[in-house]
Structure 1
Amino acid sequence: MKYEAEKLESYTGHRDCVYNVTGHSDENKFISSSGDGLLVEWDTRNSDLGKPLAQMKNSIYAVHFEKSQNRVWAAENFEGLHLIDLATRKEIANLALNKAAVFDIKTYKNLVFVAGGDGVITVIDSELMAFKKHIKSSDKSVRSLSINPVERELAAGFSDNTIRIFDLQTLELKKQINAHRNSVFAVKYSADYQTLLSGSRDAHLKIWNISNNYKLEEQMVAHMFTINHIAVNPSGTLIATCSMDKSIKLWDAQNYKLVKVIDQARHAGHGTSVNRLHWLSDENFVSASDDRSLSLWKVTQYEP
């Protein structure tokens, strides 16, 4: 199979680097966060300026849409966690955190996991809006989190080059993997939760076999520079990676072969680091970049 990629739209309006993009209850919408402290809601049916959801004093690296509750968690760096109800577009809670950057947020049932630049994974009970545990297993930043509800595990990528696997019920450390030669910026479980994907400042993409005690199954030099994020489309057929090298790459999730490179020269892609990706459907995804813009992409599969 061959794949073609087309840029459908660009979204501009942020005044600083766009660090993150997440989902929305409306499948035609998505939410971005930026160094300008803005959370913005965008609509793929309308390319005009997005609608601000919140304005914060500091930059926002981490934002997460919690689908089951129709709400958005956003971490204001060096301040705290903000919870916004999408139906009312109002902030309904906030919680002060350690004075550190926050790089990722994930939710599982009533638990919220926050990845801190101080090496702490903060676990919050979202029903009580109270701290449940502070997991400190490194002095280096926690850069990325991924949830495996089947195995009930949390994977965390650290700047000490390791991946650590935690039990979602006991919150205890189950396994430590000396994964990369540099900081692990991205971890992502596959759609069937049988493998864990990881990306690093060493530009390598690695695939770990969960059923075989997280044994390394595949690895490749995927980009020229840091892999910032890994995203898997809803059906689990395509893996997308993005990098500081300004490119986005698509990989076949069955054999891990490269099927498409999306860059500035060939596709009018981003001019600087691509920080984050979010699949809206099996065919459409959004990318966020240091160039202060977001792009909407359409991926088409065809027989050669």
Structure 2
Amino acid sequence: MSRLFGNGSLTDEDVHFSPDGKLLVSAGLDGSIKLWRTSNGTLLKSFSAHKGHILSVNFSPNSQLFTSAGEDAIIKIWQISDGHLLHSLHGHKSAIRNVIFINDHLLASASAGLEKTIILWDLQDMELNKLLKQGCNWVYDYLKNSPKLKEEDRHICDGQLTD
């Protein structure tokens, strides 16, 4: 069985099914998000979410939240039940290529372009994961001084160091 979502003219960059299989979220190149019911292809909600292209959408493991991210370098966390924006996460300096939930309380995000960083987000305290910061502190000297690394690889922890 196949199901058509939309009228065949969608210009979406990313789509994901919810873990329970009941919903599909699509990310538009126009900065819009669409939330669909998979059982009948009904569009439940469509809203403007970002300035510029949305490059990534994904659901939380419990199917209660979803994320969106894109060219504006902002991760947005949405509540599925009412489409309410819960949080906007700022930490990347360039477009965000991918955001995934590791579990219901931990996100990983990867940026594209020159920045090329991965950030772990702890959603319980809404801060960058402290473990990642500590790990970056431990490898700082290696990243800056190892002759084995390419120049672009030396900057993976830029902005993550703590005192």
Matched, 1:227 2:132: no
1:69-88 matches, within 5 Å, as: none
Structure with bigger strand share is 1
Q: Aligned letter for 1:210?
A: I
Q: Aligned letter for 2:120?
A: L
- Residue number in structure 1 paired with 2:56: 186
Q: Measured at CA, do residues 191 and 173 of structure 1 come closer, stay the same or move farther in structure 2, by a change above 3 Å?
A: same
Structure-2 separation of matches of 1:242 and 1:169? 32
- Residue number in structure 1 paired with 2:37: 167
1:191 Cα offset (Å): 1.7
Structure with bigger helix share is 2
1:1-304 matches, within 5 Å, as: 125=1, 132-133=3-4, 135-136=6-7, 141-150=11-20, 152-211=22-81, 213-233=82-102, 235-244=103-112, 245-259=115-129, 260=132, 266=140, 268=143, 271=152
List alignment gaps of at least 5 residues for structure 2. Answer: 144-148, 154-163
Q: Measured at CA, do residues 136 and 256 of structure 1 come closer, stay the same or move farther in structure 2, by a change above 3 Å?
A: farther
List alignment gaps of at least 5 residues for structure 1. Answer: 1-124, 126-130, 273-304
Cα deviation code 1:216-260 (max 9, x no counterpart):
111022311100001122x43421000012100000032332123
Q: Aligned letter for 1:217?
A: L
CA contact (8 A) 1:228 1:242 kept: yes
Q: Aligned letter for 2:127?
A: K
1:132 Cα offset (Å): 4.1
Detail structure 1 runs of 4+ shifted over 2 Å in the superposition: 131-139, 253-256, 260-263, 265-272
Question: TM-score with structure 1 length normalisation?
Answer: 0.41
CA contact (8 A) 2:17 2:59 kept: yes
Instruction: Give the CA RMSD over aligned residues.
Output: 2.7
Cα deviation code 1:251-290 (max 9, x no counterpart):
0032332123688x94759838xxxxxxxxxxxxxxxxxx
Structure-2 separation of matches of 1:151 and 1:214? 18
Q: Measured at CA, do residues 168 and 227 of structure 1 come closer, stay the same or move farther in structure 2, by a change above 3 Å?
A: same
CA contact (8 A) 2:19 2:62 kept: no
- Return the structure number with greater relative CO, CA threshold 8 A, min gap 6: 1
Aligned residue for 1:135, secondary structure, equals coil
Q: Aligned letter for 1:135?
A: G
| Number of residue pairs aligned between Structure 1 and Structure 2 | 139
1:170 Cα offset (Å): 0.6
Structure-1 separation of matches of 2:19 and 2:39? 11
Aligned residue for 1:136, secondary structure, equals coil
Q: Aligned letter for 1:177?
A: F
Q: Aligned letter for 1:242?
A: A
Question: TM-score with structure 2 length normalisation?
Answer: 0.73
Q: Measured at CA, do residues 241 and 153 of structure 1 come closer, stay the same or move farther in structure 2, by a change above 3 Å?
A: same
1:138 Cα offset (Å): 5.3
